[in-house]
Each structure stands twice: as C-alpha cells, then as structure tokens.
Amino acid sequence: MKLPLWEPPEEQKRNANITRFISLVNERYATKIGSFNELHDWSIIHLKEFWSLVWEFCEIKAVKPYDTALASDKQIMDARWFPGARLNFAENLLRHRDDRTAIIFKGEGRKPVRTTYAELYNQVARLAKSLREAGLKPGDRVAGFVPNMTEAVIALLASASIGAIWSSCSPDFGTKGTLDRLGQIEPRVLFTADGYFYNGKTFNSLERVGEITRELPSIQKVVVIPYANENPDISQVPNSIHYRDFLSPEAAPQIEFAQLPPDHPLYIMFTSGTTGLPKCIVQGAAGILAVHLKELELEIDVKPEDVFFYFTTTGWMMWTWLISNLALGATLVLYDGSPFHPDPGALWKLAEEERV
C-alpha cells in the first residue's frame, strides 16, 4: 500500500466527531470497533442500528420518534426510513438562534454581507408567514431562479418550514433549461433576482423571468430580490412583487413548523437533461437530513466553530448539501460569480479572508 499524502495528528483524531461516534457504537452494542474501515463494515451489516445511532448522534429533532430506523430492508425499493416519525427539516436547520454568524454572502465584486443565526431565524419566520398568507400549504411547490445568495437560503427554509417543496435553477440555465425543469413541477411561487454578476459583467434576468412566468400558468406570484439593481423595474414580469414588499413586516415569535412524515418531499432535483428532458428526483426530508448530517458531521468533521465553503450554484445538489451545515451551527460562505474573476486566485483569496 502506498503511503498516504497526509494523516491527521493524534489530537485531531481524538477530538474528531467520528471518534466519538465509534465510542458510542462500542458502548451501545459492546463492539470493539477501532478504525473507520471496521465502522464501515459494521454499518453495512447493521443498517438499522447504524442509522438509529446517526439520528441520535446528530440530534435530529422530531416531535414524534420513529418506530424503527429502517423497515422492509430486504429490497432497496421497498425500504422505508424512519417510519412513524414526525419532523420538520427547516426546524432542524434553524435550531441555533444566537448572534454567531450563520451566513457570509460574497457576490462577485461585492462586499461580504453577514447574517447571524438570530437574523436568519427572524427572516425565515417573516417569509414563512408571507407564504402562509399567500395560501401555500404542504405539498405545494416553490421554485427559485436565483443566484447563490442569502435570500435563496431564506426562501428554501421558509418553504420547508410550512411543508412546501423546494426546487431551484441557477439563472445561467436560460429560459428553455428552466422551463424544461420547472414546467414539470408546476410551482405556485417563483423566487428570483433581477440579475447577477459573472466574470466582470452584469446580466439582467428579468426578461427571461417574464418569459418563464408567461409559459408557466401555475405561478401565482413572482418574488423579485434586488441584486443587480437596488430598485429594479419589474413591471414586465407578470404577477411580480418586490421581495421587500412580499416579506411580512413582522414575524411570529416562533415559527409554526409543519410536522410531517419522514418521506414528505423536501426537494425536487433534476438530472442533467443530456438525453431528453431532465428527470425529476424527489428527496424526502428525513433521508436528506440524516444523510447530509452523517456526511458533514462524521465524514468531514464539521463543528460549530468551522467556516464552510463549497463552490456551487443553486442548480446543483451540492447547494442543498451546503445549506445543511446550518444544523451543525457552522458558518456558511456563499459565493456567486466566476471562480476566476478577477484572477484564478479569487476563491483562494475568499477562503483566506473568511478563514475557511
């Protein structure tokens, strides 16, 4: 076997989340697991026990516990994860409500904008109230044609808090690429920005938003976030309203999180569309939450003091994976723009400045 390029120091190994998890497995099941490979082997043989401990270790919040971690495990298509549970995905991501920084948003050529966990909760509460007042209910679809920005995260969490299903496209997809996707899911509300920045240029999105809206009769409201312009003209976009006007002026003291079954749809994602139309991929709330937290907490060792960055757009599944770090109390860095502007060191500079 070749020598590894790097190994963590012993202190880092001792303090790693996965080390604590292995200790929990050994204590609970009287095993003698001593390495990652041994844990991996055990997790395959003992699926129910492994995922039950993931739920416990990651402190997943649910108003009603599950009956079993896995039912019908003989055939993968018949598997049912955490049946009996009632929970809300957004409630798990909004468990931290203090003054630590939740999100640092850096648009290309723009100054960073910081949002605390307390501010994030308040903004989600206000938007969730607005969505309820607009008549949205569990199972309705909410879409984003939006850059990787703080308001996109707020819209996702507000939608999930009431049980609506979120789906998003990056604004660089263009009109046809967006219609090929959103036309299949009939969203009732569309969140968008007036434009975005890429490679030193400003792109106006509103013409395409108007085209998309006119082709999707299911859209009852288009909520426009000012980004490229402080006060964009949205008169040519049907059923449109400025984000600041749609946002409820006041939030309820506590968000009324819809408590839903574990397989209640959370996200609708899409395949690439290389052959035919993009195919819808529906993701259930409990499964996404458990898998994301397992990966982030056990495999990447994310902790509350960490600053986490991943270069992605809202049209990629890695964006939703990035957002799940909020459940761990980490600080997210969102970047929207070209990774090579003004030079190939742009992301390295961002990582240095924000101490990623």
Sheet with 265-270, strands from edge to edge, namely 240-242, 221-225, 189-193, 141-145, 165-169, 265-270, 280-284
Which residues are CB-neighbours of 243 under 8 A, at least 6 positions away?
A: 151, 191, 223, 224, 225, 226
| Distance, CA of 304 to chain centre | 17
Question: What is the per-residue pLDDT for 250?
Answer: 80
Check residue 77 and give its pLDDT. 80
CA–CA dist 13, 18 (Å, integer): 9
**Alpha carbon 86 to chain centroid distance?**
20
How many CB atoms neighbour CB 2 within 10 A?
Answer: 4
> pLDDT tens across 85-106, in order?
999 999 999 999 999 999 999 9
| Interatomic CA distance for residues 194 and 210, integer angstroms | 11
Quick one: pLDDT at residue 21? 98
Q: Who's near 40: CB < 8 A, 6+ residues apart?
A: none
**Range list of H helices, the chain:** 10-14, 17-29, 36-45, 47-57, 89-93, 117-133, 150-161, 174-182, 206-215, 243-246, 285-293, 317-323, 346-353
The pTM assigned to this predicted structure is 0.95
Residue 1 confidence (pLDDT) = 62
Sign of CA dihedral 234, 237, 243, 245: positive
CA 67 to CA 174: how far, in whole Å? 45
Predicted pLDDT at 73: 62
Given phi > 0 = left and psi -120 to 50 = alpha, else beta, which region is 186? left
81-85: Cβ within 8 A, 24+ apart: 81/51, 81/262, 81/263, 81/284, 81/286, 81/287, 81/290, 82/51, 82/55, 82/262, 82/286, 82/287, 82/290, 83/262, 85/261, 85/262, 85/286
Tell me the C-alpha distance between 272 and 185, whole Å.
16
Domain ranges (residues) in the chain: 11-81, 89-353
Q: Which residues of the chain have pLDDT under 70?
A: 1, 73, 251-252
Residue 272: predicted pLDDT: 85
Hey, which CATH number is domain 89-353, 3.30.499.10, 3.40.1160.10, 3.40.50.12780, 3.40.50.970? Answer: 3.40.50.12780
First to last CA, the chain: 32
Q: Tell me, what's the pLDDT at 170?
A: 96
Is the distance from CB of 176 to CB of 210 less than 8 angstroms? Answer: no
Report how far residue 356's alpha carbon sits from residue 353's, in angstroms, rounded to the nearest whole number: 8
Per-residue tokens: 101: 């920084």
pLDDT at site 274? 82
